[in-house]
Structure 1
Amino acid sequence: MLRFDNLSKRYGERVIFQGLQHAFGAGCVALCDENGSGKSTLFGLLAGTLEADTGEVWLGGHSLRSAPLEAKAALAYVPDDCLTYPTHTGRAFLELVAARRNTTVSAGTLELAERFGLAPHLEKRFEQMSLGSRKKFFLTAATLGESRVLIADEADAGLDAAARAVLIDLFKTLGQDRTVFFSSYDTVLIRGCDAKMLGFAELGRHE
């Protein structure tokens, strides 16, 4: 469902990583590595918000390079700061994502938002929300449509204990038939959703 081959990125003289390759099927995988190691850069490349220097990414069997629309249609992406749409309200954001995925905001989606404690924030703009609230809206939106891959950068950032419990349930459910690839240092979260732990060493990193 998610695959990348010979993925490399550098900024000037600094090599972030090179030669990364891996293939993921259904299930949860946690990327655990030190701060500054390039996790957000890798997720940006996989989501198509950054451009790789070399290599190729496939999402749901579609090449991000040669079939970007089809590849991105297979993806639900939760970025680190979740401020992509600062002036959208929470409700408007969910409706926007639903429209892009040719579906509607279902009762199940609203129920998940309720479990995340988002009901009081549906009419707030993202720029008015805390990081945790923004993150929860993006995680809730990941259930819309039929995406095959979920990529979540710092998935649990800003979440309290109750929201982390909801997140574990969400990841376990999605991981039954999708790839859930996320970064986190929370061992309770990682173990709770039965995630496989990987570092850059396991992705074939060479510097």
Structure 2
Amino acid sequence: MLNLDHISKSFGGHRVIDDLSLTFDLGVHGLLAPNGAGKTTLMQMIATLIHPDSGSITWQGQDILAMDEDYRGLLGYLPQKFGFYPDYSATEFLIYIAALQGIGRRQAKPLVADLLEMVGLGDRAGQRMKTFSGGMIQRVGLAQTMINDPDLIVLDEPTAGLDPRERVRFRSLVHSLAQDRIIILSTHIVSDLETIADRVIMLKDGRVRCNLSPGRISGRLEGKIFLVPTGYRLEEGQALLEEEHEGGETSLRIYSPWPPDQGQVVTPNLEDAFLVVYGDERS
């Protein structure tokens, strides 16, 4: 169990994380917020790259800073952009990473082969990484996080810049790894979390806005999401979420605490919740 207890972090007088408390158990936990909302700062504190100004982060009751190497030995971390050597093959790169973890070459070679098979790159193991697509690079990054068979995996915006097919493949890989470990995945892409996250944590103004399953978050908007004609004039308290196009006709998808005239109630989803919570802050 990873526990964050009243942590805060400021940069240049601006408080990015404000007295935040969270507990992470086994499964996939999604941090969902627009860019600039503090997701990366929170992830970097969990990865011990930066330290909270106040509060504490503990693993199984022990302070992670006091644990030092013992904590990093059970952590797998994939930053938004990770460094690699373009002229290295995937195998060479992962064997190098294994060496940094203190794993000898004899042990590393079969381990790396298994990891590349796991992420679907077994047939590209000897190919130079400079020829890889963005999605393939991210899959090597995921293999990198698994070198030490971690109990905790931290993935910071891992699908940013990937095409929809690669995002689906990456999500499937993450879901397969979450059976017996904690995975924390930050993103501003709602679809990355709707099907694989056990819990979705929305951050706003450095604090937790909600921490629930995707279904429970969507359920809060039951009876409050409607389709209305394009000429509908919003009233105070209502919000336009998006335009919907179907069968050559355009409708407006809106949030409304009451049934609007000519409105058709529709089933809410996580995207609706994201748009309602963040409004014009979304990106």
The alignment's C-alpha RMSD in Å is: 2.9
1:166 maps to what in 2?
A: 169
Map 1:169-184 onto structure 2 (within 5 A): 169-184=172-187
Q: Contact 1:17/1:205 (CA < 8 Å) preserved in 2? A: no
CA distance in structure 2 between the aligned counterparts of 1:185 and 1:148, rounded to whole angstroms: 24
Number of corresponding residues: 202
1:67 maps to what in 2?
A: 67
Instruction: Indicate yes or no: 2:124 matched with 1:119.
Output: yes
Change in 2 beyond 3 A, CA 1:200/1:187: closer
Displacement of 1:136? 2.2
CA distance in structure 2 between the aligned counterparts of 1:93 and 1:140, rounded to whole angstroms: 11
1:108 maps to what in 2?
A: 114
Q: Contact 2:26/2:181 (CA < 8 Å) preserved in 1? A: yes
**1:140-159 CA distances to partner (integer Å, 9 max, x unpaired)?**
22232321111101021232
**1:136-187 CA distances to partner (integer Å, 9 max, x unpaired)?**
2211222323211111010212323332232222221221111111112333
TM-score (norm 1): 0.82
CA distance in structure 2 between the aligned counterparts of 1:133 and 1:182, rounded to whole angstroms: 18
Displacement of 1:188? 3.0
Q: Structure 1: 5+ residue runs without aligned partners?
A: none
1:98 maps to what in 2?
A: 98
1:38 maps to what in 2?
A: 38
CA distance in structure 2 between the aligned counterparts of 1:50 and 1:177, rounded to whole angstroms: 27
1:77 maps to what in 2?
A: 77
TM-score (norm 2): 0.62
Q: Contact 1:58/1:71 (CA < 8 Å) preserved in 2? A: no
**1:50-101 CA distances to partner (integer Å, 9 max, x unpaired)?**
2221222234655321111011111110101112x45673333311333316
Q: Structure 2: 5+ residue runs without aligned partners?
A: 210-283
Higher relative contact order by CA 8 Å / sep ≥ 6: 1 or 2? 1
Name the SS for the 2:153 alignment partner: strand
Name the SS for the 1:200 alignment partner: strand
Q: Contact 1:26/1:176 (CA < 8 Å) preserved in 2? A: yes
Instruction: Indicate yes or no: 2:24 matched with 1:19.
Output: no
Name the SS for the 1:199 alignment partner: strand
Counterpart code for 1:166: R
Change in 2 beyond 3 A, CA 1:76/1:53: same
Q: Contact 2:30/2:197 (CA < 8 Å) preserved in 1? A: no
Comparing 141-150 with 27-36, greater Cα deviation is found at 141-150
Equivalent in 157, 164, 168 of residue 154 of structure 1: 157
Displacement of 1:190? 1.1
1:193 maps to what in 2?
A: 196
Name the SS for the 2:94 alignment partner: helix
Q: Contact 2:31/2:186 (CA < 8 Å) preserved in 1? A: yes
CA distance in structure 2 between the aligned counterparts of 1:163 and 1:138, rounded to whole angstroms: 14
Counterpart code for 1:40: T
| Higher strand residue share | 2
| Identical counterparts, % of pairs | 23
Name the SS for the 1:43 alignment partner: helix
Counterpart code for 2:78: V
